[in-house]
């Protein structure tokens, strides 16, 4: 169950705090006894788990990242020590790191000027929406902006279509970002992808070939309500913002709400959990709208890519079971090539493989749904890092993270232009 601790007070303070509100602790559990202790600690403290995102997913020999209030830190550290569980504090003052990202002590002019959009800072929803309209206005021959529906709170669900209008029925690639609100590097990448695709179209023959022969559907912010809330109220909010009857808790995990083995292992039936699957499949208007669009275009969409954070992984189906997909050789080869292309930028290593064995089992995920609905290449990226910054990836790392991921996505897209014979 999600902790009620809040470390984000953007409108209530004028001066920095002397004492941190919250810290992030990275824990190694190597034995069954330590695993049991961690489960017990979670039950007692009701901490906010960053990795994994549910206590039910804690496993032996797997790291655990814990977001805990300052008033609970000493208790947790003392009991970790008594249980002989190794740990280290990754972020000792979470509030300071948050303030770096929301522009505290920084003029809004550095975030966006009248004539130049800054792709190396995080942007709130309003700025991203304005940017989408600007891309549509300034690149009429390569961009088409449209809405596929409305969120729970009534916000438009905008998608950018990129591609040269050469013929009506081109193959297509879908890319969504910001499914989980707190993963801000996701929307940053979607914006980066659009920028790179448009700016390099004339000079880069590879990008020009992709844009001429494929359409790209880009959804920079899937979970618009949750993303807005993460800027205004709770930086670490994950879910949508729908109201659940008879519960004070709000929201559904938008990556557990798809109609494929819905609400089985790796998902929760409790509305207060971060992995809550919702009252029924596609209960969330955001999920329903994307599913409807992809069903309509399933004959043309050949790749589905969802951008998440954090873990440095490239995942493909299945998520909900330990089994090999029918076109495993082709998908595995595409993943290997993508990870190699990513590595070529800065030497950052990504693990790749089926989500169930590479990360953990989870039901009702978008990549499983996409694959089951006829999209042969379905991938989920877990971008930087592996836990040092977690969801608070510094803005200084937006450029390298997006640059390397761009190489991987281009490699996947390029593979669609060839016939896989494996």
- 321: tokens are 């079971």
Please tell me the distance from the alpha carbon of residue 298 to that of residue 65, in angstroms, as a whole number.
38
236: CB partners within 8 A, 6+ apart: 7, 8, 48, 50, 67, 182, 230, 391
DSSP state of 164: -
Q: Where are the alpha helices (DSSP H) in 151-277?
A: 185-199, 205-213, 224-232
Residue 271 and residue 248 in contact, taking contact as beta carbons nearer than 8 Å: no
Please tell me the distance from the alpha carbon of residue 80 to that of residue 85, in angstroms, as a whole number.
5
Rg (CA), the chain: 21
Burial of 39 per CB tally in 10 Å (0-12, 13-18, 19+): middle
CA contacts within 13 A on the Cβ side of 49:
22
Please tell me the distance from the alpha carbon of residue 41 to that of residue 29, in angstroms, as a whole number.
13
From 97, 282, 284, 382, active-site residue: 382
Paired strand residues for 173: 216, 303
Is 382 labeled as catalytic in the residue annotation?
A: yes
CA 195 to chain centre: 19
Q: What H or E segment, with its residue span, contains residue 303?
A: strand 301-309
254: CB partners within 8 A, 6+ apart: 179, 180, 222, 223, 226, 239, 240, 284, 286, 287
18: CB partners within 8 A, 6+ apart: none
Residue 145 and residue 130 in contact, taking contact as beta carbons nearer than 8 Å: no
Q: Which residues are catalytic?
A: 382
């Amino acid at each position: 169950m999600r902790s009620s601790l809040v470390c984000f007070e953007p409108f209530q303070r004028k001066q920095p705090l002397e004492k941190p509100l919250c810290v992030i602790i990275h824990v190694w559990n190597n034995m069954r006894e330590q695993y049991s202790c961690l489960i017990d600690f979670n039950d007692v403290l009701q901490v906010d788990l960053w990795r994994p995102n549910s206590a039910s997913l804690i496993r032996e020999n797997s790291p655990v990242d814990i977001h805990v209030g300052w008033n609970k830190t000493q208790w947790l550290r003392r009991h970790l020590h008594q249980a002989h569980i190794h740990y280290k504090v990754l972020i000792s003052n979470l509030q300071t790191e948050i303030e770096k990202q929301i522009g505290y002590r920084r003029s809004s002019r550095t975030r966006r000027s009248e004539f130049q959009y800054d792709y190396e800072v995080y942007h709130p929803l309003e700025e991203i929406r304005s940017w989408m309209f600007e891309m549509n206005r300034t690149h009429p021959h390569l961009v088409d902006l449209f809405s596929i529906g409305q969120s729970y709170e009534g916000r438009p669900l905008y998608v950018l279509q990129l591609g040269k209008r050469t013929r009506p029925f081109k193959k297509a690639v879908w890319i969504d970002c910001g499914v989980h609100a707190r993963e801000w590097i996701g929307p940053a990448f979607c914006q980066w992808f659009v920028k790179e695709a448009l700016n390099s179209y004339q000079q880069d023959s590879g990008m020009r070939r992709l844009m001429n022969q494929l359409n790209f559907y880009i959804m920079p912010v899937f979970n618009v309500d949750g993303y807005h809330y993460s800027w205004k109220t709770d930086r670490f909010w994950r879910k949508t913002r729908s109201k659940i009857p008879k519960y004070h808790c709000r929201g559904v995990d938008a990556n557990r709400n798809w109609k494929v083995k819905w609400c089985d292992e790796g998902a929760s039936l409790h509305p207060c959990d971060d992995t809550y699957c919702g009252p029924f499949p596609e209960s969330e208007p955001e999920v329903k709208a994307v599913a409807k669009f992809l069903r309509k275009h399933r004959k043309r969409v050949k790749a589905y890519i969802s951008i998440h954070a954090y873990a440095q992984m490239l995942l493909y189906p299945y998520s909900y079971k330990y089994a090999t997909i029918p076109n495993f050789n082709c998908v595995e080869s595409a993943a290997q090539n993508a990870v190699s292309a990513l590595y070529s930028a800065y030497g950052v290593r990504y693990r790749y493989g089926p989500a169930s064995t590479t990360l953990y089992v989870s039901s009702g995920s978008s990549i499983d749904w996409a694959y089951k609905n006829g999209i042969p290449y379905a991938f989920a990226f877990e971008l930087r890092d592996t836990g040092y910054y977690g969801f608070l990836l510094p803005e200084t790392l937006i450029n390298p993270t997006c640059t390397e991921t761009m190489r991987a996505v281009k490699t996947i897209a390029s593979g669609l232009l060839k016939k896989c014979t494996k």
